[in-house]
Amino acid sequence: MWISTPSPTKVDIINTLGRTYGWTSYLEICSWSTGWKYALVDQSIYTIKHRLMYNVYPGFNDGSPIDFLSATPDISGCISEIESRRLTYDLILVDPWHEYLTSYRDIELAFRWIKPTGTIIVHDCCPRNDSSVSPAAQEGEWSGVTFEAYIDFVRNRRPELDFFTVDIDHGCGLIRRQGERRLLNYPFAPTVRLKSIPSIDGLDQVEEEWKSSYGDHGRRLLLFEEHADKLLRLRSYAEFLDDLRQDSEAGSS
């Protein structure tokens, strides 16, 4: 008899990382139509738990608190408040309004506010079907072009960061600053410094094509469909969990 179990989601990654590393501070950057699982982020792990939400229509209420709020895509007031309080976080989820500029901005802000040993998770990095990909908001399922902003960001900020993408829940991209803990290929080994990003066969040519296609969403979608594994550095959820296990064992030895 087969027993159905829920597929893992971004919240499973969030809570597992916090539990593994003893992280206590969490920020979610989202819009009214993204996020959706804030209440499931375990507050017994993340004792500091904040949410920045924008594009929020009057009367919106999903039952969870919103610490930094904007009714429009302009979040300059939220930015000022966070930075005036000098807040930084162990883990930041970026689940943005899925247009390019808001996606890129939100990832960039997360990189500003993440602690040196923390991790950023970007949601919707691996859209499952062409119909959900659109540079402008649309009715129904909409992954937008957050995947483009994610790929551009990690490519533009090398070698400051390391990244990979867990192939669950429409793609969860993990970003961390380079340092004593490595986040790629593949354990988070605490004593290993990654001096250079390992080469992936054919990646240089794919990235050149990607770079030259900036602004051409149709061409980029075709490149993505053919080379998503290289552009995103896809990992399965099982591989992700195995990496954490190895890192935890290495850290305790």
How far, in Å, CA of 128 to CA of 169, rounded?
Answer: 9
Contact status, residue 9 vs residue 168, Cβ threshold 8 Å: yes
* Domains observed in the chain: 10-252 (3.40.50)
Contact status, residue 251 vs residue 190, Cβ threshold 8 Å: yes
SS3 187: coil
| pLDDT interval class at 202 (50, 70, 90) | low
Global pTM value = 0.89
Token pair belonging to 112: 């500003």
| pLDDT interval class at 187 (50, 70, 90) | very low
- Among 228, 121, 229, residue whose Cα is nearest residue 176: 121
State pLDDT tens for residues 133-164.
Answer: 888 888 888 889 999 999 999 999 888 899 99
Sign of CA dihedral 160, 215, 141, 132: negative
Summarize the confidence of residues 225-252 as an average pLDDT.
87
